[in-house]
């Protein structure tokens, strides 16, 4: 399972997620990975009758539940939706028609999993994008399933996401914890609370590092996946403490200045924990001063 958040600020739609994969063994929860990508960019390419490319943008995708099926679906969806062709004079290029194609693929994959008796592999997903016909029409959809005594049914629903309103998919306990502990509706607070949940040993299905994606009309491709800057104290083993910056991109360390053979890794990183980083700098200075004073005391004592 996981915890995926979606919210809207100034017509931008944000995704944030943890990176943990777990499985159940009897009544125990087994952690299988803390480095799983759960937010993806889905390329949408629409070709005309003469194969001219009329639309080439990215939509956002976030998953919870069965990771193998969910990530496999993301890959399949990328292949399907990057190869759309229209008849220039009669096709209706509306985002709902494209999402109907996406849901058809999702439902087929889910039904195949159920036929093999693997209900735990079922995944829920969020998809966000901007309509090919209307740049002012951003959207958020949820694909999911419901299990009842009559069997399993699948749904596709559009989420009416208003300013600062949040939408959740994932672990129910983690969702309830988030709602109960949220104090202010600010993006940095959302990231802080998600990080707190990742470190909460009582919520074992959510953990690892944070990942994020933002749908922005001003971005050349609309949707992009972002890294997260997190910081920690580091001791040099002698006297001084310093702050170590960890540039996490999907849980791997990817410094923005990384070069190889004049090739630059060009990723943007969010800094939701800047207040905490500045507090760590002050703490590092304070701890370094104490270490230095202690070393001077020992030196004087040994020399006496």
pTM: 0.90
Residues 138-149: what's their mean pLDDT? Answer: 93
Query: Cβ contacts of residue 115 below 8 Å, gap of 6+?
Result: none
Predicted local distance difference test score (pLDDT) of residue 303: 66
Q: What is the mean pLDDT of the chain?
A: 90
DSSP calls for 29-45: EEEEES----EEEEEEE
Residue 60 and residue 215 in contact, taking contact as beta carbons nearer than 8 Å: yes
Residues 40-62: what's their mean pLDDT? Answer: 94
Identify the sign of the CA torsion 152, 156, 161, 167.
Answer: positive
Residue 53 and residue 45 in contact, taking contact as beta carbons nearer than 8 Å: yes
Question: Tokens in use for 219?
Answer: 């971005």
Above 70 in pLDDT, residue 190? Answer: yes
pLDDT tens, 261-293?
Answer: 778 888 899 999 999 999 999 999 999 999 888
Predicted local distance difference test score (pLDDT) of residue 56: 96
59-84 as b/e, with b when 16 or more CB fall inside 10 Å? bbbbbbbbbebbbebbeebbeebeeb
Predicted local distance difference test score (pLDDT) of residue 304: 54
Rounded CA separation 264/22 (Å): 34
Above 80 in pLDDT, residue 302? Answer: no
Above 60 in pLDDT, residue 220? Answer: yes
Above 90 in pLDDT, residue 258? Answer: no
92: left (phi over 0), alpha (psi -120 to 50) or beta: beta
């Amino acid at each position: 399972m996981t915890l995926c958040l979606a919210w809207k600020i100034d017509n931008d739609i944000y995704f944030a997620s943890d990176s943990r994969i777990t499985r159940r063994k009897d009544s125990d929860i087994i952690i299988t990975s803390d480095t799983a990508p759960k937010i993806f960019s889905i390329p949408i390419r629409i070709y005309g009758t003469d194969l001219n490319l009329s639309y080439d943008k990215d939509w956002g995708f976030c998953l919870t539940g069965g990771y193998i099926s969910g990530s496999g679906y993301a890959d399949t969806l990328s292949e399907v939706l990057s190869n759309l062709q229209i008849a220039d004079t009669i096709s209706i290029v509306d985002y709902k028609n494209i999402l109907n194609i996406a849901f058809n693929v999702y439902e087929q994959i889910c039904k195949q999993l159920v036929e093999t008796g693997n209900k735990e592999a079922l995944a829920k997903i969020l998809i966000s994008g901007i309509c090919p016909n209307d740049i002012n029409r951003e959207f958020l959809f949820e694909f999911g399933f419901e299990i009842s005594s009559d069997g399993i049914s699948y749904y596709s629903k559009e989420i009416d996401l208003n300013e600062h309103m949040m939408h959740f998919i994932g672990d129910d306990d983690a969702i309830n914890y988030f709602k109960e502990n949220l104090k202010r509706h600010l993006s940095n607070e959302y990231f802080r609370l998600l990080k707190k949940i990742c470190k909460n040993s009582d919520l074992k299905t959510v953990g690892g590092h944070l990942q994020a994606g933002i749908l922005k009309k001003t971005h050349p491709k609309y949707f992009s996946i972002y890294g997260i800057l997190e910081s920690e104290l580091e001791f040099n083993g002698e006297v001084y403490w310093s702050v170590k910056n960890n540039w996490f991109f999907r849980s791997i360390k990817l410094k923005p200045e990384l070069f190889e053979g004049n090739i630059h890794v060009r990723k943007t990183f969010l800094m939701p924990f800047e207040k905490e980083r500045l507090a760590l700098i002050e703490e590092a200075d304070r701890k370094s001063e104490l270490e230095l004073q202690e070393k001077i005391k020992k030196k004087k004592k040994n020399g006496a």
